[in-house]
Amino acid sequence: MGHCVKNSPLVSVIIPIYNVEQYLQECLDSVLNQTYKHLEIILVNDGSTDKSPDIAQEYAKKDSRIRYFTQENKGGGVARNIGLDNARGEWVLIFDSDDYMRPFAIETLLQRALEANAQIVIAQSEELRDGRISLMDWALRLDLVPNKLSFNYKDLGDNVFGFCVGWAWDKLYKRDFIESYALRFQNIQVANDLYFTFMGLIMTDSISICDKVLFTHRKHSTSLESSRDGNPALFLESVKKWHKTLKSLDIFSQVERSIMNWTLSFCLWHLHTLSDDRAHYRLFKVLKRAFCDLGLRGYPQAKFYNQKHYKQMCY
């Protein structure tokens, strides 16, 4: 199928790696075995303490398309940025090292991007949890997107931030679009992809949807949970930067209802999914002030989609 893609542009697949020895081989095999072959695979070891670096370097010896980088543990955001800084492809896929993809994933995304003249293409995914696979139809809401080959945030109404999840791994990006807005991931341990992903969805003039399931997202226990417990309010840095940037660009008012509803849901999700009671109480106290600072407390009740969330905020 690869010969069908016009001019065979180079696609950079960026994969940050941190202590994933159990899953890394399956991930890399799924990338190397793509029907689309014109790839560079950028592996960035983020200070792993297991056998992940050995596995990555062994693969790099076997396939010249792989470029290996290493750094002290600074987090996935910094690792992804190293990948972006060194990427040479016309297109970029920022993938997770514990996930895997269908053999035709990259070719399908690229074909869609070229057909739609899109800067971002988003695919459907499935989740692997406890040995069971289920469709992640909540991660890409096909019922909320316009019936058009490509669209932008102005076509989405109040669903700008509700039609997909704010992570990067299920999206193919045109690299010159990323560079034109200097989009980068934040240097924080939690929610470092929020700003990159959602600002990308706002700044682009062309998003296209691939309604095929191309990726399998693995859900398992990681060190992320403990880092959230240690600093439960850290995610608010991303939220505040996102709000501030949209206001400075005079875009906030255009997407206000979507961003306010999304922000409240995100805050409550963080509160309710903490495993440590002390962390839960700390975030509870921080959110009492944050809801005021973010303008949520004064936002009209009727504009909240989920009245249960509104009542929880008031409580």
Q: Is 240 helix (H, G, I), strand (E, B) or coil?
A: helix
Token digits of residue 229? 């417990």
**How many angstroms separate the CA atoms of 258 and 264, rounded?**
10
**How many angstroms separate the CA atoms of 296 and 313, rounded?**
9
If one compares 245 and 225, the residue with the highest pLDDT of the two is: 245
pLDDT band at 185; cut points 50, 70, 90: very high
Q: Rg of the chain over CA atoms, in angstroms?
A: 20
Amino acid at 289: R
pLDDT band at 2; cut points 50, 70, 90: very low
Q: Is 245 helix (H, G, I), strand (E, B) or coil?
A: helix
Give first-to-last CA distance, the chain, whole Å: 56
Q: What is the mean pLDDT of residues 140-154?
A: 96
**Which among 72, 67, 47 is positioned nearest to 57, based on CA atoms?**
67
**How many angstroms separate the CA atoms of 196 and 186, rounded?**
8
Q: Give the tens place of pLDDT for each residue, 55-71.
A: 999 999 999 999 999 99
